[in-house]
C-alpha cells in the first residue's frame, strides 16, 4: 500500500493541519484511492518540512511556527511518536536535511537566515549543544544569570554580496549534502548558494556562489551526474552549478523554468527529478502549473519541454513517485496525482485529486 507522511501549515500560520498527516491508498488501486487518513501526531506548530533518517525509522519535522526541529519515531504501521525533546533551530525554520551517515542534520531558517547543524545520537535523537548545557550548569552552580541558548553549530551569518541595501535580509531556505561531505545551502534573500564543511560540532564556510541580483534561489536537487540544479523563486529560473577540479562550484548554465512564467506573478517552489535524472519538474505558484525540463548533455544544461495544470492552488511541494507526480496544493487544501509520459517526461493530466489540510510536504513512509 502506498503511504506518505504529510507536512502542513497549522493554525498559527493560517493553516488547518493538526500535525503530521497520513496519505494512503488502497492496495493495488493507489492511483485513484489515495486519501488523507488523518493526523498521526498532535503537532499544531506547522510541521511544514519532513525528512527521514537514512537508516532508522525516524522522521524529522521542521516545526516552522515554533522555530524548532522535532524527531518522531515510527511506533506502528502508520503511527509516529515524539523522540526526545524539540531542539531550537531558528525563526521560521523551513527545511531539514539529514546527513547520509545519520550523524547530524542541517536546519535552514527563513526568518533569520540561520544555517544550523544539530547532532543526532545513535537512536536518531537530536542532541542539544553540550557547550550550552555546560554553560547553563556553571551558571546554576554559581547563582549567575542563565546564558542565552544558542543552537548547536550555527553557521556564519550571510552578508549581501550585491550590497543592494534597502530591506534585503538573509533568508536561508534549503540544504543538500554533497558526495564529498560538504553541504550546499540556499540564501533566497541574498541570492547565494553557500558551501560548508562539517567540523566537530558545527559548520565552517567553504565558499559562496553569487547568483544575479533578485533571483531568489530556493530549492535544489543533486543530479546523478554531480551537477546541482537550483530553482529560483523570484526570477523563475533553474541554474545549474558544477564543481571545478579544485572543488570550487560555479554556474555553468541557466534556463527559464517555464516558457509561460511571469516574473512577479509566478513563484517556483520545489524542484524534483526522475530517478534516472532524465527530467526535472518545478511548480509555479501563481499560474499553478507544473513545468517539465529535460536534462541535456552530461547534466550541465536543461531544456523546457512542457507545462501543465497542477490541479491545485499554490503548489508548494511535489515529488516523482513510481512514474507519477504527487502535488501538494497549500491554498486549495488538496493534493493531486499527475500521470507522466515515461518517454517524453511531459505531464499527461490529472489522474486523481483528494482533500488534505494545508499540505506542504510529502515524505514516503517506506
CATH for the stretch 3-364: 2.130.10.10
Cα 289 to Cα 116: distance, rounded to the nearest angstrom: 33
User: Beta strands 301-309 and 315-321: pairing type?
Assistant: unpaired
Cell 531556505, residue? Answer: 173
Please provide residue 134's backbone torsions phi and psi, each rounded to the nearest 5 degrees.
-65, -40
At 105 the pLDDT is 97
**Where do the structural domains in the chain lie, given as residue ranges?**
3-364
pLDDT of residue 241: 98
Q: How far is CA 144 from the centre of its chain?
A: 40
pLDDT of residue 26: 85
Say what the pLDDT of residue 202 is.
87
Q: DSSP assignment of 51-65, as one string?
A: EE-SSSSEEEEEETT
Which is nearest to 179 in space by CA: 119, 99, 97?
A: 99
Cell of 101: 551517515
Contacts 24+ apart (CB under 8 A), 33-37: 33/352, 34/2, 34/335, 34/337, 34/352, 34/354, 35/354, 35/355, 36/6, 36/335, 36/354, 36/355, 36/356, 36/357, 37/78
Provide the pLDDT for residue 305. Answer: 96
The pLDDT score that the predictor gives to residue 200 is 79
Cα dist from 147 to 88, 132, 137, 139, 209, whole Å: 15, 8, 10, 7, 35
H or E, element range at 350: strand 347-355
Rounded to whole angstroms, the Cα distance separating 213 from 139 reads 46
Model pLDDT, residue 143: 57
Dmax of the chain from CA atoms? 69
Contact 89, 62 (CB under 8 A): yes
Q: What is the pLDDT along the chain (366 residues), one digit of tens a residue?
A: 589 999 999 999 999 999 999 999 987 777 789 999 999 999 999 999 999 999 999 999 999 999 999 999 999 988 999 999 999 999 999 999 999 999 999 999 999 999 999 999 999 999 976 544 444 444 445 555 544 444 459 999 999 999 866 789 999 999 999 999 999 999 999 999 999 999 877 899 999 999 999 999 999 999 999 999 999 999 999 999 999 999 999 999 999 999 999 999 999 999 999 999 999 999 999 999 999 999 999 999 999 999 999 999 999 999 999 899 999 999 999 999 999 999 999 999 999 999 999 999 999 997
Instruction: Please list, residue by residue across 223-232, b when 16 or more beta carbons sit within 10 angstroms of its beta carbon and e when fewer do.
Output: beeebbbbbb
Per-residue confidence (pLDDT) for residue 163, from 0 to 100: 85
Amino acid at each position: 500500500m502506498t503511504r506518505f507522511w504529510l507536512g502542513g501549515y497549522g493554525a498559527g500560520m493560517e493553516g488547518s493541519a493538526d500535525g503530521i498527516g497520513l496519505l494512503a491508498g488502497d492496495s493495488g488501486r493507489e492511483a485513484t484511492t489515495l486519501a488523507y487518513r488523518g493526523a498521526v501526531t498532535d503537532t499544531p506548530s506547522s510541521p511544514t518540512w519532513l525528512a527521514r533518517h537514512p537508516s532508522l525509522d525516524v522522521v524529522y519535522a521542521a516545526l516552522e511556527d515554533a522555530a524548532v526541529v522535532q524527531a518522531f519515531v515510527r511506533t506502528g504501521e502508520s503511527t509516529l511518536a515524539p523522540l526526545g525533546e524539540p531542539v531550537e533551530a531558528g525563526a521560521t525554520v523551513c527545511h531539514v536535511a539529514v546527513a547520509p551517515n545519520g550523524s547530524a542534520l542541517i536546519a535552514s531558517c527563513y526568518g533569520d537566515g540561520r544555517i544550523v547543524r544539530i547532532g543526532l545520537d545513535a537512536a536518531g535523537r537530536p542532541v542539544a549543544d553540550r557547550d550550552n548545557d555546560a554553560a547553563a550548569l556553571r551558571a546554576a552552580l554559581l547563582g549567575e544569570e542563565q546564558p542565552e541558548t544558542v543552537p548547536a553549530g550555527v553557521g556564519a551569518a550571510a552578508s549581501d554580496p550585491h550590497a543592494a541595501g534597502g530591506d534585503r535580509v538573509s533568508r536561508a531556505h534549503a540544504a543538500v549534502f554533497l558526495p564529498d561531505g560538504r553541504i550546499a545551502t540556499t540564501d533566497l534573500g541574498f541570492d547565494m548558494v553557500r558551501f560548508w564543511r562539517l567540523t566537530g560540532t558545527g559548520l565552517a564556510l567553504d565558499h559562496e556562489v553569487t547568483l544575479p541580483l533578485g533571483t531568489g534561489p530556493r530549492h535544489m536537487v543533486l543530479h546523478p551526474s554531480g551537477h546541482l540544479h537550483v530553482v529560483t523563486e523570484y526570477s523563475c529560473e533553474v541554474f545549474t552549478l558544477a564543481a571545478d577540479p579544485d572543488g570550487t562550484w560555479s554556474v555553468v548554465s541557466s534556463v527559464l523554468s517555464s516558457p509561460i512564467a511571469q516574473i512577479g506573478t509566478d513563484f517556483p517552489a520545489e524542484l524534483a527529478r526522475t530517478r534516472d535524472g532524465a527530467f526535472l519538474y518545478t511548480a509555479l505558484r501563481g499560474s499553478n502549473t507544473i513545468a517539465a525540463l529535460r536534462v541535456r548533455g552530461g547534466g550541465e544544461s536543461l531544456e523546457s519541454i512542457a507545462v501543465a495544470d497542477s490541479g491545485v492552488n499554490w503548489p508548494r511541494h511535489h515529488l516523482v513517485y513510481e512514474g507519477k507526480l504527487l502535488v501538494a496544493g497549500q491554498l486549495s487544501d488538496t493534493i493531486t496525482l499527475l500521470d507522466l509520459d515515461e518517454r517524453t517526461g511531459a505531464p499527461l493530466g490529472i489522474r486523481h485529486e483528494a482533500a488534505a489540510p494545508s499540505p506542504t510536504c510529502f515524505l514516503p513512509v517506506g
